[in-house]
Each structure stands twice: as structure tokens, then as C-alpha cells.
Amino acid sequence: MTILQEYFSECTKVEWYPLSFCMKYMSNGNTKQKRIYELVTYLEETFQIAEIGTHITKNQIYQALRYIDQDTLGSDLKNEFVLSVLKRLGVSVGHLKLIKKERGWSLDKDSTNQKQVC
């Protein structure tokens, strides 16, 4: 690690976690983390095997997960962990809806080696 840090002196060290670890961590966390866990679970169920072009409105998410207000949903959709899951699923966030624009990376949660911020 020291050699890598000397060679790449401008880089920062980042911790990496598998998605399953982050999901377990969030399911046992505080209220906000549990809410984000429920959102990610809902989005995965909706978009994991969906065809390209499938969309869901933010209002549908708001009602399905019983959000208190739309600002909370908006801030949760901007969460770094949620954005990384949406990217993995190939989903983009529009003004009023979420749209599947491309095929997702992998259906296997544990084999994805992307940065997860728990």
C-alpha cells in the first residue's frame, strides 16, 4: 500500500464495501438509513429485471413508501448510496420520474466491486 501511495501521491484512499454489507448495515441503522434501505430495496425490485424504457413516477414511490413529504424523497434520491445503486441498475433520475435507460451492470449484489458509501 505504501508503494501505491508513493506512486499515486495525488490520490486519496477510499474504503470499498460489497452492496450486501451496506444493505445489512443500513437495515440496522437509524431512521434515515432504514428509509434509504427501503427505498433501495423498492428500486431494485422495480428496476432489476425491468425492460429499458420502464419508468416509475416519484409520486408512486412517495405513496408506496409512505414518505412524509416530497423534499425527503428528493434528498434521499440524491444520497450517494442511492445514486450508486441507480447507476448499477441503469436508471436515471428525471424531474418527475425515474427511467431505466440501459441494462444494469450485474444482478449479483455481492460481485459488484463498486464504491459503496454506507
| Domain regions of the chain by residue span | 16-111
- Residue that wins the pLDDT comparison between 1 and 73: 73
Here the cell at position 61 is 414511490
Q: Which residue has the cell 413508501?
A: 65
The set of residues, in sequence order, having a beta carbon less than 8 Å from that of 55 and lying 6+ positions away, is 97, 98, 99, 100
Model pLDDT for residues 25-61, shown as the tens digit of each residue: 889 999 999 999 999 999 999 998 889 999 999 999 9
Model pLDDT for residues 83-94, shown as the tens digit of each residue: 999 999 999 999
